[in-house]
Structure 1
């Protein structure tokens, strides 16, 4: 059905060269924005940044070929960071991928059981509280890197984490803080200028410019290359992001993986997988409800 819908849309609505040009420009813009976003969400989820790039590329292709909605777009969402981070810290990348596959099975079962009908009974206050709590939690998690704080250990409990961040304020890195403040400021105030260009692009350019100024002044700025390293299947290592295509290897076969795929590990991941499925279902259904109201479908 998605392929047929795509063909019908192209022929019935006369998919012209002008429309293709607009879609091409939009695709390039979204692609540029998706690069730092995907890496940021991967880092926030507790895995290396290259996995965010791989996921964004593969998911974009799969969703474009299999998605059936013309009024919505699909992509990574920061709401999952709160659930994914504890899983990756405890089970590593392999455990995170297994939990993701399990959540997909749960979503299929929910669809067969017509779970979508239950969205009508979820109070708006619950949804607002849920999303607000996620936003506050994610914002707190980013303070360390936003200000360049030096912390040997970040507590898992929220209140303990806030206390540790407060105690680490004297270690603030002025360069990192300047880049973060300038980038965030542009993202917040750019829409008020009424310019059609998305604020993400100027924010990226401004952040790079501030980093160059900090380096010229002799300051130090944390980068992907200085903060992350990778280990390939053959045991070779390096800093930053691998300069080659993704390797087709099972994650638990990587040299740095400590995860073992057993029935016990699957049972341990069940609660996390169910939480991921519930969050994905609720977010998707809420978006569908909003789109129905906007499009009259």
Structure 2
């Protein structure tokens, strides 16, 4: 257990902390708390629950994930990815059902961590992740149309197609003031950082729009219209349910657990790249599980690692879990002393913030990039996307995982069918000890596809960070899939940001074309993509201004 569950905070405290870093973490935590405030409220409202549940989740889960998690900088709380599944559970089972499903999801997450599944979950194809992330983004956007336009609709259907039919049927009830406030919110959220860089755009938009509405007595729906007063206390909640009904919560709980695990580990990987760190996957899953077991007792909803808030933490100097703990304390103080004012926030303002969130989630650039790739990647992308949008997120994940397994078998079959003897680079050099310390060589010994891409990219980063020039030998790489290119691109970006030059050696003609298609030639100049190892070593010596060794 000690080897599996090792919270980063405890390890950091053992090695000691500088006072400067503690002050940076405290300041970063306060900023992230302010960023999280409007998002926590917006995610709760969009999920069909009262606003304080979002705040409670950000406070309790955010505190526990930072205290017990396996990442230095992860910020936990409610996220946009959960809106679709939470809304569906509340519609079908009520709030008590959501509490049970969330706690059960927490149990699954702890089990995932104890079984060391954290490393496996990182190997899902990129096309699968983009498929349901883009699908969720479109669903979130569609749920905000009513409030964005101020439409007079008493009950919005849950189905995507039905939603849009009722929107068009009520198009004549548009509240143009509400629509103008939505547009203003989007513009302030997106562009305010160019003028006031230190205040988060979403927070600024809530302050400005709320003041405008109440100073000019504009008639638009607010949080108070639908939810009344926002409590400034946290109460213990106990759900009412029958044990006989427990099995009906297993499917939604597994969906929450899978979605939470994937998003939190994706966030941890992204933050690793930003700080040059390495998270502990299984510890992170156990911490996420504990947070989701405990948070519902206080009235919270599902929580996971939040990529945008984690990135904000890093950009503001946060480097230890102290910043995440301070973020939770900041939100608690705001809720206790300023929460009563949150009821004045216009619904159109929250809609504007969520539309920006949906756009940022959409990953449209990755979506288009995958559509240029292999047929199987396109199949996984479009299948998970359309099932998420038109049917059900639970089914989308189930079918996506099944397609991933089929893809894995296909890739393994491709490996056995490929012949290595047509690779251009045929020279065999096993001993690299003659090279100077500033040059490192790493060889990829097989195809770079979704099942191996993460491990190879981590190794490339580790080897590359110890030199000035990294020669990446690719003579035995018979093919690279979309996930492989995505991970390779991330590794190259990290090394380039550290000032390290990457040279590719033994690249066959097919992969060279794919490098152009996936825009890796924007990161690695074509003169550094070479067909044999001798040319690569000559180039490395030339870059360093050294005399090339005798062959």
Using the size of structure 2 for normalisation, the TM-score is 0.46
Aligned counterpart in structure 2 of residue 60 of structure 1, from 52, 59, 62: 62
Cα drift, residue 96 of structure 1: 0.3
- 1:245 equivalent to 2:224? Answer no
Post-superposition CA distance 1:240-268 (Å, at most 9, x none): 213x422324143xxxxxxxx11232111
- 1:220 equivalent to 2:219? Answer yes
> SS at the partner of 2:144?
helix
Aligned residues: 271
Cα drift, residue 274 of structure 1: 0.8
Counterparts of 1:76-87 in structure 2, within 5 Å, are: 76-87=78-89
- Structure 1 residues 73 and 35: CA distance shift in structure 2, 3 A: closer
Residue 14 of structure 2 corresponds to which residue in structure 1? 8
Residue 100 of structure 1 corresponds to which residue in structure 2? 102
| Conserved? CA contact 1:146–1:177, under 8 Å | yes
Aligned counterpart in structure 1 of residue 257 of structure 2, from 269, 274, 277: 277
In 2, distance between residues paired with 1:116 and 1:64?
Answer: 17
- Structure 1 residues 202 and 14: CA distance shift in structure 2, 3 A: same
| Conserved? CA contact 1:175–1:214, under 8 Å | no
> SS at the partner of 2:26?
helix
Aligned counterpart in structure 2 of residue 198 of structure 1, from 197, 200, 205: 200
- Structure 1 residues 221 and 21: CA distance shift in structure 2, 3 A: farther
Residue 73 of structure 1 corresponds to which residue in structure 2? 75
- Give ranges in structure 2 of 5+ residues lacking alignment: 1-5, 279-551
Post-superposition CA distance 1:180-236 (Å, at most 9, x none): 211111112234558343222322222123313541xxx3121121211xxxxxxxx
In 1, distance between residues paired with 2:38 and 2:110?
Answer: 31
User: Which one is further off, 122-131 or 56-65?
Assistant: 56-65
Which structure: larger Rg? 2
| Conserved? CA contact 1:214–1:221, under 8 Å | no
Aligned-residue CA RMSD in angstroms? 2.3
Which consecutive aligned stretches of 4+ in structure 1 deviate over 4 angstroms post-superposition? 191-194
- Structure 1 residues 65 and 174: CA distance shift in structure 2, 3 A: same
Aligned counterpart in structure 1 of residue 160 of structure 2, from 152, 158, 161: 158
Residue 255 of structure 1 corresponds to which residue in structure 2? none
- Structure 1 residues 4 and 286: CA distance shift in structure 2, 3 A: closer
Cα drift, residue 84 of structure 1: 0.7
- Structure 1 residues 149 and 88: CA distance shift in structure 2, 3 A: same
- Structure 1 residues 91 and 183: CA distance shift in structure 2, 3 A: same
- 1:30 equivalent to 2:32? Answer yes
Counterparts of 1:276-295 in structure 2, within 5 Å, are: 276-294=256-274, 295=276
In 1, distance between residues paired with 2:13 and 2:215?
Answer: 50
- Structure 1 residues 203 and 245: CA distance shift in structure 2, 3 A: same
- Structure 1 residues 21 and 207: CA distance shift in structure 2, 3 A: farther
Aligned counterpart in structure 1 of residue 209 of structure 2, from 207, 210, 216: 207
Post-superposition CA distance 1:46-80 (Å, at most 9, x none): 11112222222222322232224213322221101
Post-superposition CA distance 1:146-202 (Å, at most 9, x none): 221111221121111111112222112223222221111111223455834322232
- Structure 1 residues 197 and 43: CA distance shift in structure 2, 3 A: closer
| Conserved? CA contact 2:109–2:261, under 8 Å | yes
Cα drift, residue 121 of structure 1: 4.0
- Give ranges in structure 1 of 5+ residues lacking alignment: 229-238, 253-260
Aligned counterpart in structure 1 of residue 176 of structure 2, from 161, 174, 177: 174
- Structure 1 residues 60 and 281: CA distance shift in structure 2, 3 A: closer
In 1, distance between residues paired with 2:180 and 2:139?
Answer: 22
| Conserved? CA contact 2:121–2:261, under 8 Å | no
User: Which one is further off, 93-102 or 189-198?
Assistant: 189-198
